[in-house]
Amino acid sequence: MYLDDLPDVAIARRIKTVARGRALVSEGRAVGVAFTGDGKLAPESWIVRFDIAEGQDERRLLADAFVSTGANAVWYFGGDTATRKAVTELGLESFAHTAVYVRRADPAVSGGSLVLRAAQDLDTQTRRLISRHVDHYQAPRFAAALAGGEIVGYAILEELTPTWSEVSAFVFPAARRHGYGAEILAKSADAAEHTGRMVCAALSYNDGGSRAVVERAGFRLADYYFTARQKTKESK
């Protein structure tokens, strides 16, 4: 399920913001730019953004980008038709890297005892602990999740566009395994949707535990960010 207006999620925006660009030239003029990872959020050997002028040959320019940057992989969103076409025509093998979910169903969790409360003034230690969980968010908003009057975790929301928000949940270690994560996500998403916003979530493709949590909270898979590279001999 792909949505035309689904924006880049927060981690993708951060990766692209700190990427390093190299111009792609054809017949003496620039026709595109290939950006490589910063070595922290994404390897320097990855092309993480591939922007070319309309009407250009995607396959040829991506091949040129690999040569000029020395990259051995390209990281791209499934909805990026130009990059996906170039990857396909070059015969590269794609692997899911980051899963993007959108709110598309009623959550499996219902009712619950949690209450979300605005948490604008977090102490330094707590903010540092939670922020490590979403250090790629640029302007996170926090809401404390209370169960029986005790804070068990936090809902974290990042506004991506005027209409889209990304949500995440943090549960303190002592409060885990009680289903609080899904309930925090569901209630945070409900609050955002009640203001007319669309809601998404992103997580590592290999994070099966988090995938179960977001699905219980009523999210459904929309698309992936992929990495693509030359096929190995075993996969040919």
Q: Write out pLDDT tens, residues 110-135.
A: 667 899 998 877 888 888 888 888 89
Look at residue 1 and tell me if it is in a domain: no
Look at residue 4 and tell me if it is in a domain: no
Percent share of the chain, pLDDT over 90 = 79
pLDDT of residue 3: 57
Look at residue 29 and tell me if it is in a domain: yes
Radius of gyration of the chain, Cα coordinates, nearest whole angstrom: 20
Does 118 lie in the same domain as 71? Answer: no
Is 2 or 109 the better-scoring residue by pLDDT? 109
* pLDDT above 80 for 204: yes
Does 195 lie in the same domain as 140? Answer: yes
Look at residue 2 and tell me if it is in a domain: no
Q: Which domain holds residue 124?
A: 106-217
How many domains does the chain fold into?
Answer: 2
pLDDT of residue 73: 98
pLDDT of residue 125: 86
Does 154 lie in the same domain as 89? Answer: no
Residues 6+ apart with CB under 8 A from 29: none
Look at residue 153 and tell me if it is in a domain: yes
If one counts every other C-beta atom within 10 angstroms of the C-beta of residue 23, the result is: 11
pLDDT of residue 4: 62
Look at residue 3 and tell me if it is in a domain: no
pLDDT in tens, 151-175: 999 999 999 999 999 999 999 999 9
Does 157 lie in the same domain as 126? Answer: yes
pLDDT of residue 28: 87
Does 114 lie in the same domain as 191? Answer: yes
* pLDDT above 80 for 65: yes
Does 140 lie in the same domain as 92? Answer: no
Does 206 lie in the same domain as 116? Answer: yes
Note whether 9 and 3 are within 8 A (CB).
Answer: no
Is 58 or 5 the better-scoring residue by pLDDT? 58
* Mean pLDDT score, 56-80: 96
Question: Which band of pLDDT confidence, cut at 50, 70 and 90, is reported for residue 139?
Answer: very high
Distance (Å, rounded) from C-alpha 67 to C-alpha 70?
5
Look at residue 5 and tell me if it is in a domain: no
pLDDT of residue 235: 56
Does 61 lie in the same domain as 113? Answer: no
Look at residue 163 and tell me if it is in a domain: yes
Does 73 lie in the same domain as 128? Answer: no
pLDDT of residue 225: 97
* Mean pLDDT score, 183-189: 95
Does 209 lie in the same domain as 126? Answer: yes
Question: For position 116, which CATH number holds?
Answer: 3.40.630.30
Does 162 lie in the same domain as 127? Answer: yes
Distance (Å, rounded) from C-alpha 96 to C-alpha 3?
18
Six-digit token string for 151: 């804070």
Does 124 lie in the same domain as 205? Answer: yes
